[in-house]
Amino acid sequence: MFKKILIANRGEIAMRVIRACKELGIKTVAVYSTADKQSLHVKFADEAVCIGPALSKDSYLNIPNLIAAAEITNADAIHPGYGFLSENAEFSQVCSDHNIKFIGASADMINKMGDKATAKETMKNAGVPTIPGSDGLLGSVEEGIKLAKEIKYPVILKATAGGGGRGMRLIKKEEEFEAAWSSCRQEAEAAFGNGELYLEKFIEEPRHIEIQLVADQHGNVSHYSERDCSIQRRHQKLVEETPSPVVDNELRQRMGDAAKKGAKAINYEGAGTVEFLLDKHGDFYFMEMNTRIQVEHPITEEVTDVDLIKQQIRAATGEVLEEVDHLPKRHSIECRINAEDPTKDFRPSPGTITNLHLPGGQGVRVDTHVYSGYTIPANYDSMIAKLIVRAPTREEAMIRMRRALDEFIIEGIKTSIPFHAKLMEDEGFKSGIFTTAFMETFDMEGIEDYVVGK
C-alpha cells in the first residue's frame, strides 16, 4: 500500500481523497495555489505545499511544481482527482518517469481514449455498439457529404480531439454540410491544435447513461451499474441519479457487459467510466470513455456500498480485486450546488459565504470544502458542494432531496439551490421520462420563491 499520496487538486475532491486516505492509513499531501490558502483541504491534509499563484496554469496545472512538491514530501503516488491534470498524458508519463504512481490511466491509455475517433474504433473492434458513421477520420468534405447521404440526415460532425460537447456540429441537410465542415475544422484546430473530424448519425433526444468501472492490474474488471446524467445544461451536468429510471436489470447487464468488454479489450486499469447514448428505441451506443474518477461518483457509492476512491487506490497498488457486477441496492440522487445565480442565466457568483448550514439526517451526504466565512475564489469552477441523498425508492429520494435542499442555508452568495428545489417538484423530472434536451425547455420562472423554508 502507498505510504503517502499527494493530491494534485483542490476543493471537494481533494477533501474526498483525503478522507479515503485517512481510512486506509495513508498520509496525505495537499497542494494549493495562493488563492486557496484558506481552503479546507490544506487544513485536513497531513502536509501542504504551495504550488503557485491563483491562475490554474501556474499552479494546479504546473507539472514541474507538482513533481517537486511530491519529491520534497516523499509522496509515492499522486491522485489527480477530476479536471486539471487528471486526463493529461504528459503528467501521467512524467509521474511514471519519476517513479511516482499516477492514480489514473497510463499516458498511452489517455491518448487512446482522448482521441475520440480512435476510442470509437477501438470499442467497435471490441464488439461495443457504436453509432453508425465514418470509419475513423474523414479524408475530405466530399467523403463526408457522400457518407451523410448514405446514413441520412441529421448527422453530427465531431472533432476527434474534442469531447464533452466541444467541437461538434449538428447538420440537418446537405446544404449546411460545407459551412459546418469549415467552421468545425477551424474551431477544432484553434481549440485543440487538431482539426481532424469524424461523422456520425445524429441520435435525437437521447439519454446520457454511463457505466462505472474499476479494473485491477490482473484483468479483473467490475462494473458498478449506471448513472443517468441526462439533466445537463451546456454540457455541464446539474443532477445525476442511479439507477436510471429507464434502465431495467436486463439492459443494465447488457450495458455493464459492453463496458467491461471494452475495458478488457484495452487492458484498462483503475477507475473509469464508459459513456453511452441511449436512444428512444432502447438501443445504446458508446460515446466516450473517461479515464478518471468523476464528480458524480458518490451516487454509485451510495447505492453499491463501495468506496470508489479506496477501490481506485487499491487497484493502483496492484491488489487483486475480485470481479463483481454491482447492482443498485436503492436509489441515489446528486445535486451539484454551484456558486451561480440561476435567475441570471447561471452566471458565476463568487464571494464570501457569510453564513452556512449544511443539511443532514438519514440518507443525506454533503461533499464540500466550504465553511462559514470561506471566500469562493473567482479563478476556478463554480461547484461548491455536492448534495447527495439515498433512499429505498426514487420517489423517496426526490422527497428527501427536496427536504435537504430546504435545510441547506448558504448566505452571502447566490447558488443553484433554488433551481434544484424547483426541479424536484417538476412533473417532467418526477415522471423519470426525459432526455438530454430537458433543460432546453425547463422554466426558471418563479425560482426566487424556492428559497430556504418555503
Torsional sign, CA 115, 117, 120, 123: negative
> Does position 152 bind ligand MV4 by CB under 6 A?
no
Q: Is 325 exposed, middle or buried (0-12, 13-18, 19+ CB in 10 A)?
A: middle
Nearby residues of 276 by Cβ (< 8 Å), 6 or more positions away: 208, 209, 210, 211, 255, 258, 259, 284, 285, 286, 287
Interface with ligand MV4: number of residues (CB under 6 A): 17
Residue 162: how many other CB atoms lie within 10 Å? 23
> Does position 164 bind ligand MV4 by CB under 6 A?
yes
Active-site amino acid positions: 292
Give CA torsion, residues 7, 8, 12, 15, to 10 deg.
10
Closest distance to ligand MV4 from the beta carbon of 106 (Å):
22
| Amino acid sitting at position 257 | D
> Does position 203 bind ligand MV4 by CB under 6 A?
yes
C-alpha to C-alpha distance for 241 and 172, rounded to whole angstroms: 32
Q: Site for ligand MV4 (CB under 6 A): which residue of 127, 139, 165, 373?
A: 165
> Does position 289 bind ligand MV4 by CB under 6 A?
no
Region of 120-128, 161-169, 211-219, 441-449 interacting with ligand MV4 (CB under 6 A): 161-169
Closer of 185 and 208 to ligand MV4 (Cβ) = 208
Closest distance to ligand MV4 from the beta carbon of 206 (Å):
6
Q: Site for ligand MV4 (CB under 6 A): which residue of 15, 105, 287, 356?
A: 287
C-alpha to C-alpha distance for 78 and 8, rounded to whole angstroms: 7
C-alpha to C-alpha distance for 107 and 219, rounded to whole angstroms: 19
> Does position 109 bind ligand MV4 by CB under 6 A?
no
Which helix (DSSP H) or strand (DSSP E) does residue 391 occupy?
Answer: strand 383-391
Closest distance to ligand MV4 from the beta carbon of 162 (Å):
8
Closer of 279 and 407 to ligand MV4 (Cβ) = 279
Closer of 273 and 349 to ligand MV4 (Cβ) = 273
Contact between residue 161 and residue 116 where contact means Cβ atoms under 8 Å apart? yes
Closest distance to ligand MV4 from the beta carbon of 424 (Å):
21
Contact between residue 276 and residue 261 where contact means Cβ atoms under 8 Å apart? no
Region of 203-211, 243-251, 326-334, 368-376 interacting with ligand MV4 (CB under 6 A): 203-211
Cell numbers for 219: 484483468
- Give which of 397, 36, 181, 263 is closest to 255, Cα–Cα: 263
Which helix (DSSP H) or strand (DSSP E) does residue 64 occupy?
Answer: helix 63-73
Closer of 75 and 156 to ligand MV4 (Cβ) = 156
> Does position 198 bind ligand MV4 by CB under 6 A?
no
Region of 12-20, 200-208, 324-332, 420-428 interacting with ligand MV4 (CB under 6 A): 200-208
> Does position 436 bind ligand MV4 by CB under 6 A?
yes
Q: Which of residues 112-131 bind ligand MV4 (CB under 6 A)?
A: 131
Q: Site for ligand MV4 (CB under 6 A): which residue of 117, 156, 397, 404?
A: 156
Closer of 202 and 374 to ligand MV4 (Cβ) = 202
Closest distance to ligand MV4 from the beta carbon of 87 (Å):
14
C-alpha to C-alpha distance for 87 and 195, rounded to whole angstroms: 20
Closest distance to ligand MV4 from the beta carbon of 282 (Å):
16
DSSP state of 374: P
Closest distance to ligand MV4 from the beta carbon of 132 (Å):
9
C-alpha to C-alpha distance for 283 and 32, rounded to whole angstroms: 44
Q: Which of residues 342-401 bind ligand MV4 (CB under 6 A)?
A: none
Q: Which residue has the cell 496545472?
A: 61
C-alpha to C-alpha distance for 177 and 199, rounded to whole angstroms: 11
Q: Which of residues 245-284 bind ligand MV4 (CB under 6 A)?
A: 277
C-alpha to C-alpha distance for 430 and 394, rounded to whole angstroms: 9
Q: Site for ligand MV4 (CB under 6 A): which residue of 12, 240, 241, 288?
A: 288
Closer of 87 and 216 to ligand MV4 (Cβ) = 87
Closest distance to ligand MV4 from the beta carbon of 165 (Å):
4
Closer of 12 and 288 to ligand MV4 (Cβ) = 288
> Does position 232 bind ligand MV4 by CB under 6 A?
yes
Q: Site for ligand MV4 (CB under 6 A): which residue of 84, 181, 202, 374?
A: 202
288-312 burial by CB neighbour count: b if 16+ within 10 A, else e? Answer: bbbbbbbbbbbbbbbbbebbbbbbb
C-alpha to C-alpha distance for 259 and 236, rounded to whole angstroms: 23
> Does position 205 bind ligand MV4 by CB under 6 A?
no
Closest distance to ligand MV4 from the beta carbon of 308 (Å):
22
Residues that bind ligand MV4 in the complex, under the rule CB under 6 A: 131, 156, 163-165, 200-203, 206, 208, 232, 235, 277, 287-288, 436
